[in-house]
Amino acid sequence: MLKGRNILLGVTGSIAAYKAAMLCRLLKTSGADVRVVMTPLAKQFITPLTMATLSKNPILVEFFDPENGAWNSHVSLGEWADCYLIAPATANTLAKMACGIADNLLLTTYLSARCPVAVAPAMDLDMYAHPATQENLEKLRAAGVAVIEPDEGELASGLCGKGRMAEPAQIVRSVEALLDQKKKSLAGKRFLVTAGATIEPIDPVRYLTNHSSGKMGYAIAEALARRGAEVTLLSGRTCLPAPEGVRRIDVLTAADMYRAATELFPSTDGAVMCAAVADYTPAEVADRKLKKGDGDLTIRLCRTRDIAAELGRMKNDRLLVGFALETHDALAHATEKLRRKNFDFVVLNSLQDPGAGFRGDTNKVTLLDPSGAEELPLMCKTEVAGRIADKIENLLR
């Protein structure tokens, strides 16, 4: 049920931490990839060795590895996770989460997580019933955190009442339900995503292409599919495997991509045009390898057709998202493309921004629609894809 899902398990300093070992094992056997972040106090209740062995991943406690200074990035942990489950969650951690206090790795990760977050409170009955705890839980619910109610029964204090952490099997079921809910936000919607670089043959050996890695388009296809959409990825050349649950159609040239895109677009709810399509292609393709001569060689190029502009003409009430990669006057050029190609919004990346554009795993983009521009900070491409999917979701609503 959790196959292929990334679950970040946060463990805090409660006696119920011993159950985190069973919980971790159940998450693993349901097919999830599990990473564990612990508060410093949680280590007193269950050893990192136990959790590392069960999760098959190193345990994260500190902001830095004291041995080599390596940084444990709470931002990347939050991006990696499909769900952040804090179990057991103590009254202290819940209070800090509700107030935005960030004095350990588990809490900073909570503040930067964009995925669904669930907490399984564990504490004594009076602590649980205390108005302060109940108020904090209300605040967390209002912030979208799923609270997995504790059970009633015998507590470590010897008292009996509500406060026992829910049983691990129940917690796994709650996580599955939470992910199903999230997954379905684009259920029933169909998208076409173009990605990668086209290849324009010169002869049987040589071709014209560009630096596009396809990473951004593949991340968008994956983000849409994870939300339940049916995604067709029209892919030029990349070295990437097709994301899970996405139908990939490989094409070579701009003309191939044009044919496939115009055929597929009418049966979709929208398209994201992420491919780096050649603007020019050799006017003639030699059927034999061109032999070198003494002098220079001139290859005549002719214009390819603009796929995005054609889909813009066909679009009716479909959604169309374009990209603009600019080196100068970025905003002006992107605004012009938004209008000319009839895009609903444009994802602008400027090659002048360090960390943006081709090949890398990060991007720095501005989302531009007719009502204005939203400049996003430097992020992983998977996170940028999430923001694009959020905007698509809002526009379809």
* CB-based contacts of 170, cutoff 8 Å, min separation 6: 148
Nearest distance from residue 284's CB to ligand C5P, in Å?
A: 20
- 323 belongs to the binding site for ligand C5P (CB under 6 A): yes
Cβ-based nearer residue to ligand C5P, 78 or 214: 214
User: Residue 125 and residue 160: Cα distance in Å, rounded?
Assistant: 7
Identify which of 100, 104, 106 has the alpha carbon closest to the alpha carbon of residue 86. 106
* CB-based contacts of 73, cutoff 8 Å, min separation 6: none
In the set 275, 319, 365, 385, which binds ligand C5P (CB under 6 A)? Answer: 275
Residues 184-203 that bind ligand C5P (CB under 6 A): 194
* CB-based contacts of 230, cutoff 8 Å, min separation 6: 189, 190, 191, 247
- 179 belongs to the binding site for ligand C5P (CB under 6 A): no
Confirm whether 136 is a catalytic residue.
Answer: no
Nearest distance from residue 188's CB to ligand C5P, in Å?
A: 25
Specify whether the CB–CB gap between 192 and 315 falls below 8 A: no
In the set 88, 214, 312, 322, which binds ligand C5P (CB under 6 A)? Answer: 322
Nearest distance from residue 335's CB to ligand C5P, in Å?
A: 12
- 384 belongs to the binding site for ligand C5P (CB under 6 A): no
Q: Cis omega (within 30 of 0) on the bond before 88?
A: yes
273 forms beta bridges with: 194, 322
Residues touching ligand C5P, count (CB under 6 A): 14
Nearest distance from residue 226's CB to ligand C5P, in Å?
A: 22
Specify the stretch interacting with ligand C5P by CB under 6 A; choose among 7-15, 200-208, 241-249, 305-313. Answer: 305-313
Specify the stretch interacting with ligand C5P by CB under 6 A; choose among 141-149, 228-236, 306-314, 360-368. Answer: 306-314
- 27 belongs to the binding site for ligand C5P (CB under 6 A): no
Find the catalytic residue in 136, 210, 316, 363.
Answer: 210
Identify which of 372, 323, 369 has the alpha carbon closest to the alpha carbon of residue 350. 323
- 308 belongs to the binding site for ligand C5P (CB under 6 A): yes
Identify which of 97, 276, 258, 292 has the alpha carbon closest to the alpha carbon of residue 199. 276
Roughly what angle, to the nearest 10 degrees, separates helices 48-55 and 18-29?
10
List the catalytic residues. 210
| Residues in contact with ligand C5P by the rule CB under 6 A | 194, 254, 273-275, 277, 304, 306-308, 322-324, 337
